[in-house]
Amino acid sequence: MPPIYIDYLNRLDVEALALTDDEILTAIEASLAAQGRGETVIEPRVHLQPGVANGHFNVLRGAMAGEIDSAGVKVVGDFVENYTLGLTSELAILLLFDPRTGVPRAMLDASGITDMRTGAVTAVGAKYLARPGSKVLGHIGARGTAYWNVRLLDRLFDFDEIRVHSRRPESRDGFARRLERDLGKPVIATADWEGCVRDADIVVEASRLNAPTPLLRTEWISPGAFVVPYGTMSAVELSLTDVMDKMVVDDWGQCRGGPFGSLRAHVETGRLSEATLHAELGQIVAGVKPGRESGNETNLFWHRGLSLSDIALGHAMLEKAKAMGICQRLRFG
């Protein structure tokens, strides 16, 4: 058997790449379009719950044809109490393979990939489903993905007002200061949920709850708003879907099953079903189905996280790393 080498990027390598906002958005939008055209394979995520801590592992699997031509598996831990140990809640590894032979091609620290691609999917969803003139963002949550939600949304909309909230004052205040530094504009850290989201043009709910708790009230959502709830445990009322004109997901196969997700109860009660679902986001990006069609629409986008986004962003990172000469090679076999 000929020697096999795999490309390897650790966290420091990923940071050295310094992917731009536009590089991230371009990679993710292209992957969504490929999904919408039926050029991908995606399987619903599976979970591993070790039972020894407040957390679980997500295992995401998919494959992409065309330019990327790769199969991938990402394993990402989601452990709520990690902050008490000085760790981020989500740590991940992405493995890429040749889809024709199974030969491993690459291994990447995917913790940053998870954060970046989640924010990019949120932003691309807003590009197609929010009002073009949206100027007020209300964001719940301050974990790693939250930063990229706000940063990439602001890249597209250049908000006049950004509000953020999280449970711990030190967390939301630190998050607001970091955003102010990086975005070059004021960011308001609110003391409660209502002050953060009421009457906002775009509302993102990325909370960290131990159990489903309806903290985001439907009455706070303005007509014409765009809402993105994606916490692992639901923070929204059942009535949220009742006020929506269009409900969109990233992949219906993984949204309709499993124990977790912000709209799990809505699926179980039939409020979100194949009959009420407008589209998968990839279908909208690919032009198969329409996105926002009027300024009066109140739209919702629920994303669980796509392996395809991980694969696409991992591929973009590897290509840039090779061009910069910082990609490590490991002997596999």
Contact predicate 9/328, CB 8 Å: yes
Q: 50-54, 196-200, 257-261: which has the highest mean pLDDT?
A: 196-200
| pLDDT for 244 | 98
Closest CA to 189 of 154, 213, 165, 223: 165
Where along the chain do its domains lie?
5-113+308-331, 118-305
**One-letter amino acid of 114:** T
300 has pLDDT over 90: yes
Start-to-end CA distance of the chain, whole Å, equals 8
Q: Which CATH architecture has domain 118-305?
A: 3-Layer(aba) Sandwich (3.40)
| pLDDT for 69 | 93
Give me the mean pLDDT over the 225-237 stretch: 91
Question: What CATH code is assigned to 5-113+308-331?
Answer: 3.30.1780.10
> Looking at 42-46, 70-74, 152-156, which range is the least confident one?
42-46
Can you tell me whether residue 106 is helix, strand or coil?
Answer: strand
At residue 329, φ and ψ (nearest 5 deg) are: -120, 130
The C-alpha atoms of residue 281 and residue 248 are separated, in whole angstroms, by 6
Contact predicate 194/217, CB 8 Å: yes
**One-letter amino acid of 42:** I
Contact predicate 66/34, CB 8 Å: yes
User: Are β-strands 70-79 and 90-97 bridged in parallel, bridged antiparallel, or unpaired?
Assistant: antiparallel
Give me the mean pLDDT over the 205-213 stretch: 86
Tell me the per-residue pLDDT of 30-54, one tens digit each, with 9 for 90 and over.
999 999 999 999 988 888 999 999 9
DSSP string of 157-179, one letter each residue: H--SEEEEE-SSHHHHHHHHHHH
Q: What is the DSSP letter of 308?
A: H
pLDDT band at 333 (very low <50, low <70, confident <90, very high): confident
Alpha helical stretches, state H, 44-192: 111-129, 144-157, 169-183
Tell me how far apart the 2 most distant CA atoms of the chain are, in Å: 64
Tell me the per-residue pLDDT of 95-117, one tens digit each, with 9 for 90 and over.
999 999 999 999 999 998 989 99
258 has pLDDT over 80: no
| pLDDT for 143 | 80
208 has pLDDT over 90: no
Residues facing residue 202 across a β-bridge: 137, 226
DSSP string of 1-59, one letter each residue: ----EEEEE-HHHHHHH---HHHHHHHHHHHHHHHHTT-EEEEEEEEE--SSSSEEEEE
